[in-house]
Structure 1
């Protein structure tokens, strides 16, 4: 009986230790900055935003590649395009944090799952957005990174999910890649910044890791 209890105790300890270790490593790697020294000229800009948990990259319409704009169903008055990437089930079944269930959270974090691009459009800049100055080359890299994240069908067209948006100004599109606890919605944005040689975290699954790099 003692052996059984000891074994159960070890299993419980391991189950507790794994998420704690994950968060500890994530916090440490989030504080390490890559591309700290910016050698590119500041010729244009994009924006970074978070809803408190989930990061988005926001690009003015006139700075978006025509190939990225192609097939996007948006309001003609839209002037700012906000791109996010994430778990399909989580996006569609958790429109607000009050809708979050334990089952959906576990599935998103620990099961390799299909993904969506969440596109939200705005008519004007919001005060909570962080403006980030970039070069034309860095802007081009961000455009290409986002475009590659859209799944395209046999006709090379982006695939929208009809009537699945939360409001009049947003839509979901099928995306490439899988969501895991090692590559989250925020890792996607951080990876975009790393690829564009912008200041970024070594790795982060959180929104605050990257936000802190640009909040000062």
Structure 2
């Protein structure tokens, strides 16, 4: 038992420093995307409307009240996580230990959607990337696939409000558990879109560590 636990911890730690898509290079003048962390959780932030690909996230979300409120905003962030953890952390409260422990077992998930008036400012917890049109299209497909739609194919708004007046929760696909965390979702989404990511990223720092090492094409240096 102890040996298995030790192996698991070593795998998680090693996964942080092992890059996937190590040859990924940013595209000068490409589509801007951001990986944003609050120190515990990570989101992927993208343009609310992206003209090269014709992507309009307000159309994708199909929520007239959100379109009316956020039509003038510039960016939107997406995260994935445990429903019970998210809903227990309203009002700035950290969930009780029992809630945290129960979240380690497979449970339902939500998509966290956060609207930004302007692009996040790069810093300690914000990494800016520029990616190609093809990579962005793949990224948006992966994000869309993480929403659990209703029988008509429409997204399902779980709560009329989130932590602030600018963020909301939608029903998500998949099950959250100890080996499939919110940061694993961000990391896997970046990896599957062809961007630099970690082999395994259970922590926010694991995600930021690899995306921060992304470089531009040699021609731009």
- The corresponding residue for 1:3 is none
Is 1:201 paired with 2:198?
yes
Displacement of 1:23 after TM fit?
A: 3.0
Q: Residues 95 and 190 of structure 1: is their aligned pair in 2 closer, same or farther, counting only changes over 3 Å? A: same
Q: Identify which of 101, 112, 133 aligns with 1:106.
A: 101
The Cα offsets for residues 137-171 of structure 1, whole Å up to 9 and x where unpaired, read as 11001100000000110111100023341111011
- The corresponding residue for 1:5 is none
Between structures 1 and 2, the one with greater strand share? 2
**1:76-155 mapped onto 2 (5 Å cutoff):** 76-95=71-90, 98-109=93-104, 111-127=105-121, 128=123, 129-155=126-152
Question: Is the deviation greater in 18-27 or in 195-204?
Answer: 18-27
Is 1:211 paired with 2:200?
no
**1:1-216 mapped onto 2 (5 Å cutoff):** 14=1, 21-38=7-24, 41-42=27-28, 43-63=30-50, 65-66=55-56, 69-72=60-63, 73-74=66-67, 75-95=70-90, 98-109=93-104, 111-127=105-121, 128=123, 129-216=126-213
TM-score (norm 1): 0.84
The root-mean-square deviation of aligned C-alpha atoms, in Å, is: 2.1
Structure possessing the higher radius of gyration over alpha carbons = 1
Displacement of 1:204 after TM fit?
A: 1.5
Is there any run of 5+ residues in structure 2 with no aligned partner, and where? Answer: 214-221
Is there any run of 5+ residues in structure 1 with no aligned partner, and where? Answer: 1-13
Distance 1:35 1:97 in 2: 36
